């Protein structure tokens, strides 16, 4: 249908014959994590298609390359681009951690860009969901060059544990303070996510997402009955429902599909249409850097900077 022709998607193709038990567990975690994540800075999972020999993950297509390649081809990012990029990564991490989902493989190659400059965190193959936030994770995983000091040996490990590193002189002072706050040797003294978002360097970054309603918990109920929704939500879901009807999906089709099963083509079409409608309302608009305007809410983040927080998701030893 013409409704779907202009929607590009990315495909992750896996050979089922080559998936051992561990790979299957990781894949299951990846799908479960992405099922639960609906955020402007996280790659979306639309559908899972299975054949006897292969498994296809139908994913959101970013189209703007990744951060690693951008740095390699263009050199260091300018200050404002760095702010906007890092703020979006933090926004994704904050959202994941609020849902007790840990990525465990964050690196430049897994930070993608859309053609409009929005950041998308990708590749949840090592992700996991923690049941107790007070327990540290101790699984040996991730990309070898980017692992914590607990997985490294020798001089490099000592330098990280002792906080022995040099920052280039061209890094702005506020950014240097943020980096030092993140890399403090003692875990209890490191900046928490809200402290990072509230630091002087990132305070000028403004997100536009208050204009975009979050995806409802019960997608089917909101789609079939939007009378209780806000006017924005009602308009959004009416648009999606009309598109589904134009594609031949009836209310009976939707009643027989809760729109939560990634292995259903109905769910895949619904998620693509919903995301398209959300993007029309600014979902994929990147943040902007404004002047230092006094705002009580953002000034509250500045005050939050001085508080000490302990993160037990990862403890270096």
Residue 314 has pLDDT above 80, yes or no: no
Sheet containing strand 119-121, edge to edge, reads 63-66, 111-114, 119-121
Closest by CA to 282, choosing from 207, 229, 215, is 207
Q: Give the mean model confidence (pLDDT) for residues 127-154.
A: 66
Q: Which of 15, 79, 105, 284 is catalytic?
A: 105
113 contacts 66 by C-beta, under 8 angstroms = yes
79 noted as active-site residue? no
Report residue 158's pLDDT band, with 50, 70 and 90 as the boundaries.
confident
- Whole-angstrom Cα distance, residue 275 to residue 73? 31
**Structure confidence by residue, pLDDT tens digits, 94-137:** 999 999 999 989 999 999 999 999 999 999 999 998 887 666 66
**Structure confidence by residue, pLDDT tens digits, 172-224:** 999 999 999 999 988 889 999 999 999 999 999 998 865 344 554 566 666 65
pTM: 0.82
Q: What percent of the chain has pLDDT over 90?
A: 50
Domain boundary assignment for the chain? 213-281
- Whole-angstrom Cα distance, residue 186 to residue 162? 9
**Structure confidence by residue, pLDDT tens digits, 29-84:** 999 999 999 999 999 999 999 999 999 999 999 999 999 999 999 999 999 999 99
Would you state the pLDDT for residue 151? 53
Give me the helices (H) in the chain, please. Answer: 2-5, 21-36, 67-74, 79-98, 154-162, 173-182, 193-197, 219-224, 231-246, 251-255, 265-280, 296-304
- Whole-angstrom Cα distance, residue 283 to residue 275? 8
136 contacts 314 by C-beta, under 8 angstroms = yes
* Average per-residue pLDDT for the chain: 82
Would you state the pLDDT for residue 81? 96
Would you state the pLDDT for residue 199? 95
Would you state the pLDDT for residue 229? 53
Closest by CA to 46, choosing from 17, 85, 90, 4, is 4
Would you state the pLDDT for residue 92? 94
Would you state the pLDDT for residue 196? 95
Residue 272 has pLDDT above 80, yes or no: yes
Strand partners, 63: 114
Distances (CA, A) of 12 to 17, 49, 74, 245, 274: 15, 10, 27, 29, 21
Would you state the pLDDT for residue 32? 92
Enter the tokens of residue 240.
């999606």
**Which residue is listed with tokens 């297509």?**
61
Q: Give the mean model confidence (pLDDT) for residues 145-153.
A: 57
Residue 16 has pLDDT above 80, yes or no: yes
Report residue 313's pLDDT band, with 50, 70 and 90 as the boundaries.
very low
The alpha carbon torsion through 77, 82, 88, 91 (nearest 10 deg) reads 140
Report residue 255's pLDDT band, with 50, 70 and 90 as the boundaries.
confident
Would you state the pLDDT for residue 310? 43
- Whole-angstrom Cα distance, residue 92 to residue 14? 26
Residue 24 has pLDDT above 80, yes or no: yes
162 contacts 169 by C-beta, under 8 angstroms = no
Would you state the pLDDT for residue 315? 42
Would you state the pLDDT for residue 291? 74
225 contacts 216 by C-beta, under 8 angstroms = no
């Amino acid at each position: 249908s013409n409704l779907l022709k202009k929607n590009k998607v990315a495909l992750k193709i896996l050979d089922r014959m080559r998936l051992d038990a561990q790979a299957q567990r990781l894949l299951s975690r990846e799908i479960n994590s992405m099922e639960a994540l609906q955020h402007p800075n996280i790659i979306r999972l639309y559908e899972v298609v299975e054949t006897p020999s292969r498994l296809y993950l139908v994913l959101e297509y970013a189209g703007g390359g990744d951060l690693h390649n951008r740095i390699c081809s263009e050199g260091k990012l300018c200050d404002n681009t760095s702010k906007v990029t890092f703020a979006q990564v933090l926004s994704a991490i904050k959202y994941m951690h609020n849902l007790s989902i840990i990525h465990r493989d964050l690196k430049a190659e897994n930070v993608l860009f859309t053609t409009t400059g929005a950041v998308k965190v990708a590749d949840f193959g090592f992700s996991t969901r923690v049941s107790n936030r007070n327990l540290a994770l101790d699984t040996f995983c991730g990309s070898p060059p980017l692992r914590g000091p607990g997985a490294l040996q020798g001089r490099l490990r000592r330098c990280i544990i002792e906080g022995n590193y040099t920052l280039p002189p061209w890094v702005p002072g506020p950014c240097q303070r943020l980096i030092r706050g993140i890399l403090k040797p003692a875990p209890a003294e490191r900046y928490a996510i809200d402290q990072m978002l509230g630091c002087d360097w990132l305070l000028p970054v403004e997100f536009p997402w208050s204009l975009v309603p979050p995806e409802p918990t019960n997608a089917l109920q909101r789609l079939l009955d939007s009378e209780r929704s806000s006017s924005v939500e009602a308009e959004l879901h009416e648009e999606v429902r009309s598109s589904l009807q134009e594609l031949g999906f009836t209310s009976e089709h939707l009643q027989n599909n809760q729109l939560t099963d990634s292995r259903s083509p109905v769910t895949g079409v619904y998620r693509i249409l919903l995301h398209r409608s959300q993007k029309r309302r600014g979902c994929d608009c990147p943040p902007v850097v404004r002047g230092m305007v006094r705002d009580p809410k953002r000034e509250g983040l500045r005050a939050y900077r001085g508080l000490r927080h302990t993160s037990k998701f990862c403890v270096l030893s």
